[in-house]
Homo-oligomer: A and B are copies of this chain.
Amino acid sequence: MPEKRYLMTPGPTPVPPQVLAAMAEPMIHHRAADFRKHYGECLARLKQVARTESDVLLFTASGTGAFESAVVNLCAPGERVVAITAGSFGDRWVKLAQAFGADVVPIRYAWGETPNPDDLRAKLAEIGGAPVAFVVQSETSTGVVSDVEAFAKVARAAGTTLVVDAVSSLGAVPLEMDAWGVDVVVSGSQKALMTPPGLGLVAVSRNAFEHAARVKQPRFYWDWEKTRAAQAKVDAPFTPAVSLVIGMNVALGLILEEGLENAFARHVKLGRACRAGIKAMGLELFSPDEDRSAVVTAVKSPAGIDSGELVKVLRDRYGVTIAGGQGDLKGKIFRVGHIGWFDLFDITTALTAIEIALVELGADVVRGAAVGAAVTAFQAA
């Protein structure tokens, strides 16, 4: 029998067949009317998903590229940036901003801790403010989801432009860009937006556009104003990734058909189910045991088991792909993604496979309890 494969990493995530089918249509020209229909619709749907009236700029790039656009549009060399980091992606943004000459003041937490908005308030007061601050909404390396609404409140009060990394969270957990007064939201196609990787997106508030207009930093491909002006004419400054745009438009249609609130509620239930199953197996969670942890469930590897071994056994013997730990957490945790096109049966499959593999590796786990606990947690009001 051809092997069945199960993709349960925190990204890229599974892509619905409707999206894959749309991407398999014959190529069309990016300046012809038939593409502009997809493109215009996609840009409008992105605004709905980001809950903003502002422009959402599309870049042919990974999420890191979209984040780089925020840095080169907002950070002048030598200017201060506060970067909140509690994991791999937070650390990446520190390095990225430093590469462009920013004077980065990091607020560092141990990987797995949840950043506290009070720490941003105190740091901004201590250093006399900063034009820009970065925060990660969903730290994919740890499963921690930050309280972006509270961070936005602190940033707004301090006159700081807040950039939110929502790469793995946009469409999975609430992010009310306009209502919360968030200035910049960065995301990518390959997580909750259920599209293959290759599109980076940046939602930019009017305030952030004005901020960018004052910042002198060389930019061309990432220039927000150039992209905004082109998009205003339903065009792109450079040949866009036609098939990915067409695919993402279909995916966004599916998300909006489900309804964003329903999608958020579904992710909460998926997270609950996954955590309940993990605990029923007798394992210890690494990511917080709370409803906000709806994107990635991180789990401590049981004593004596290298999580890298678990990932390998799951993939090679059972066709199930989950993720190991990054950085210092390598070998110590494993991560199950449930972002985007996931339902209860994906969670029960992941739990079943993890249990089988851990038993094979000689771990001391409770057998036969995880799936029942997951179903119960999923069905609870």
Contact = CB atoms under 8 A, between A and B. Distances in A.
Interface of A: 5, 7, 9, 11-15, 20-21, 23-30, 32-33, 60-65, 68, 71, 77, 95-96, 99-101, 188, 190, 196-198, 218-221, 237-244, 315, 321, 323
A380 to B, nearest CB: 31
Q: What secondary structure prevails in chain A residues at the interface with B? A: loop
Contacts of A13: 27
Contacts of A61: 60-61, 65, 221
10 contacts: A12-B28, A12-B29, A12-B242, A23-B23, A64-B237, A65-B221, A96-B220, A190-B239, A196-B243, A197-B242
A321 B29 contact: yes
Contact of A238 (B7, B33, B62): B62
A346 to B, nearest CB: 13
A197 B96 CA distance: 26
Contact of A196 (B9, B27, B64, B77): B27
Taken together, the copies of this chain in the complex come to 2
B198 A60 contact: yes
Contacts of A25: 20
Given A27-B15, A60-B60, A95 B220 contact: yes
B27 A239 contact: no
Given A77-B218, A190-B239, 13 more contacts: A5-B28, A7-B29, A12-B239, A15-B26, A15-B27, A20-B23, A60-B198, A64-B238, A65-B221, A197-B239, A197-B243, A198-B241, A241-B244
A353 to B, nearest CB: 15
Contacts of A218: 77, 99-101, 218
A163 to B, nearest CB: 15
